[in-house]
Amino acid sequence: MSHEVDLTRQIQKSVTFNFEGPYDLVKFIKTIGENGMSATIRLGPFIQAEWNHGFRVFGDPPSQRSAEDTAFSVARWFSKNGSLVNYYMARFFEKPGTNDCAAFLANNNTKDPETVTFRGKKYYLPAKSISILPDCKTVVYNTMTPLSDPFFFFNAKQVVSQHNSRNFVKSRKTDGKLEWKMFSETIPSNLLVDSRIPRELYNLTKDKTDYAWFTTTINVDRNDLSARKDINPVLRVASLGHAMVAFINGEFIGSAHGSQIEKSFVLQRSVKLKPGINFVTLLGSLVGLPDSGAYMEHRYAGPRGVSILGLNTGTLDLSSNGWGHQVALSGETAKVFTKEGGRKVTWTKVNKDGPPVTWYKEEEASPEKIEILTVNRDTICSYVTEYHPPNVRSWEKKNKKFTPVADDAKPAARLKCPNKKKIPRLLLPAKRLMRFLLEFEQHCLGKTSCDIPMDKGLFNGKKDNCPNLTKNLAVQVKCSSKGPKSSANQA
């Protein structure tokens, strides 16, 4: 059993823990042990934004371990009476005196498949694979056989783990011609200097964005530049992560990035400088915050050393040259990715010479009939039938068995508005159901949450015109911060 604890509720004060009621973690762990089960417990602080191992991460080579090999190891562990695998657990029960049977058929040969006889029946086992027979007769899973194998697909009812490679298929179907538009970011060149050195990227962005601009200026004398046109200076930026795009006088010169294993990198590109003032602009970006390990507060990112190589006067160190900073892209600030924000900027037709920091959008066509649905959380609904079990709010233990305690004698439709909003009116069922409207107002009107019992009398009174039909109740309400309106008065 894997369990997560909401620390915002568990920790009421900086040094006080709440272990009362549903937050009694100690009692919960003891209950697991009393029932012969195991638990996996993680002790924080722990930030899990996404699994960062087991699949290909940004800048990393492809994972070398296949899903089939992982499945083989897990199945072999269970076949050897193992009970716990990280994230997953199985408990095996024995019933003496019954014919209950489960089998694991394994082929440890890594090269050749084998056909084995088990209980008078032959079973085909691919190389290095395990077949699982929950009834000692039917193969429901094999760790190696691909889905394309017709025997297993039609006869073995197999569930197959796929390879961990990423496949991309170009869309050939569209409702019409794709009409892409673009909005280009303005490359800042001379931001207000607020620091002698480039500021650290994590502290600069403060998790509000992944992007920040860095600018500085240099005055180049004509004698600093080579007289030969085929010899140019080199911009060198040593960064602690995670990615960077560089510009000289507003022109793109190159980009570089680190990897999951080695986040630091060096961007080094030949540049064309002009006599006089030149503007150096860097766009630093992050791909996430540190999520594990010691001293996370001492992890750093962003440019640490900036220099110009190849000048006639030698190397020019710009690390302490005085730097200006701008947090976030202008498109982020304007929220151009939303309909409202998209109207605040000017979009143009896409051209191949557009600058590298550009937003693109296409909103007319629908490739592959893809539909994007917006969830309206101000309209909520619930559905229940008369044969639904009553709502269970607590459990009790009798004779080492847990049984539900039903606080309500009847099933009920449960509604709850988000963000402390209240229910001002009913949308469904129809307003002509006067009995239901009165019941609705009694239970729900003006409340943040409510339960409406499933009672046939709400619709037909004491007379049931359709006694042989199962009664269903669907309720849809509006959530709002405004005061409620009487549904009965609207009927």
For 184-242, give the DSSP string. EPP---SPPEEESSPPPHHHHHTTS-SEEEEEEEEEE-GGGS-SSTT---EEEEEESSS
User: Phi, psi at residue 200, to the nearest 5°?
Assistant: -65, 135
- Asked, for residue 248, whether it belongs to a domain, the answer is yes
- Single residue among 361, 392, 422 that ends a domain in this structure: 361
Q: Are residues 333 and 196 in the same domain?
A: yes
pLDDT for residue 240: 95
Q: What is the dihedral of CA 321, 324, 328, 334, to 10 degrees?
A: -150
Q: Are residues 124 and 41 in the same domain?
A: no
Give the residue among 148, 134, 145 at the shortest CA–CA distance from 67: 145
Q: Are residues 240 and 297 in the same domain?
A: yes
Query: How far is residue 453's CA from residue 455's CA, in Å, rounded to a whole number?
Result: 6
62 and 165 Cβ atoms separated by less than 8 Å:
yes
Query: How far is residue 374's CA from residue 394's CA, in Å, rounded to a whole number?
Result: 35
87 and 96 Cβ atoms separated by less than 8 Å:
no
Query: How far is residue 25's CA from residue 176's CA, in Å, rounded to a whole number?
Result: 56
What are the E-state strand segments in 375-462? 379-385, 392-398, 401-406, 412-416, 422-428, 449-453
pLDDT for residue 406: 53
pLDDT for residue 391: 57
- Single residue among 327, 361, 395 that ends a domain in this structure: 361
Q: Look at the block and give the residue holding tokens 């402390």.
A: 420
Q: Residue 469: helix, strand or coil by DSSP? A: coil
Both tokens assigned to 378: 């101000």
Give the residue among 86, 111, 326 at the shortest CA–CA distance from 205: 326
Q: Are residues 230 and 345 in the same domain?
A: yes
User: In whole angstroms, how far apart are CA 430 and each of 177, 303, 394, 459, 475?
Assistant: 43, 63, 34, 11, 10
Question: Checking DSSP bridges between strand 121-125 and strand 314-317, what pairing results, if any?
Answer: unpaired
279 and 217 Cβ atoms separated by less than 8 Å:
yes
CATH number reported for the structural domain that contains residue 344 in this entry? 2.60.120.260
Q: Would you give per-residue pLDDT tens digits along the chain (491 residues)?
A: 455 555 555 444 455 667 788 778 888 888 888 887 777 776 655 555 444 445 556 655 655 566 677 778 888 887 887 766 664 433 333 345 666 778 888 888 888 888 989 888 888 888 888 888 888 888 888 887 644 444 443 343 333 333 444 455 566 655 556 788 999 999 999 999 999 999 999 999 999 999 999 999 999 999 999 988 889 999 999 999 899 999 999 999 999 999 878 899 999 999 999 999 999 999 999 988 887 778 888 889 999 999 999 999 999 999 999 999 999 999 999 999 998 999 999 999 888 777 789 999 887 666 555 565 555 556 777 777 766 665 555 556 667 665 655 555 567 788 888 877 888 877 766 555 556 666 677 778 888 888 887 776 666 666 777 777 777 778 888 888 776 654 433 32
Q: Are residues 395 and 425 in the same domain?
A: yes
Q: Are residues 106 and 136 in the same domain?
A: yes
pLDDT for residue 49: 46
Side chain identity at 272, as an amino acid letter? K
- DSSP output for 111-168: S--EEEEETTEEEEE-TTEEEEETTSS---EESS--TT-HHHHHHS----PPPS----
Segments forming the whole domain that contains residue 341: 184-361
- Single residue among 301, 331, 361 that ends a domain in this structure: 361
pLDDT for residue 282: 97
- Asked, for residue 451, whether it belongs to a domain, the answer is yes
Q: Find all residues with CB under 8 Å of 138, minimum gap 6, and list them.
A: 156, 157
- Asked, for residue 57, whether it belongs to a domain, the answer is no
Query: How far is residue 476's CA from residue 481's CA, in Å, rounded to a whole number?
Result: 17
| Cα–Cα–Cα angle for 296, 297, 303, rounded to 5 degrees | 95
Q: Are residues 416 and 484 in the same domain?
A: yes
- Asked, for residue 331, whether it belongs to a domain, the answer is yes
- Name the β-bridge partners of 359: 183
Q: Are residues 251 and 212 in the same domain?
A: yes
What are the E-state strand segments in 227-378? 234-239, 243-248, 251-257, 265-270, 276-285, 303-311, 314-317, 323-327, 348-349, 358-361
By CB neighbour count within 10 A (0-12 exposed, 13-18 middle, 19+ buried), where does 443 fall? middle
Query: How far is residue 196's CA from residue 478's CA, in Å, rounded to a whole number?
Result: 55
- Name the β-bridge partners of 403: 396
pLDDT for residue 268: 96
Q: Are residues 195 and 331 in the same domain?
A: yes
CA torsion sign for 459, 460, 462, 464 is: negative
pLDDT for residue 409: 58
Total number of domains constituting the chain: 4
- Asked, for residue 230, whether it belongs to a domain, the answer is yes
- Asked, for residue 172, whether it belongs to a domain, the answer is no
- Asked, for residue 35, whether it belongs to a domain, the answer is yes
Query: How far is residue 480's CA from residue 476's CA, in Å, rounded to a whole number?
Result: 13
- Asked, for residue 320, whether it belongs to a domain, the answer is yes
Query: How far is residue 438's CA from residue 329's CA, in Å, rounded to a whole number?
Result: 53
Q: Are residues 191 and 302 in the same domain?
A: yes
Both tokens assigned to 10: 């568990």
Query: How far is residue 199's CA from residue 302's CA, in Å, rounded to a whole number?
Result: 8
Q: Are residues 433 and 473 in the same domain?
A: yes
Q: Are residues 241 and 293 in the same domain?
A: yes
454 and 410 Cβ atoms separated by less than 8 Å:
yes
221 and 314 Cβ atoms separated by less than 8 Å:
no
Give one word for 53, left, alpha or beta, with left for phi > 0 and alpha for psi -120 to 50. beta
Query: How far is residue 252's CA from residue 281's CA, in Å, rounded to a whole number?
Result: 9
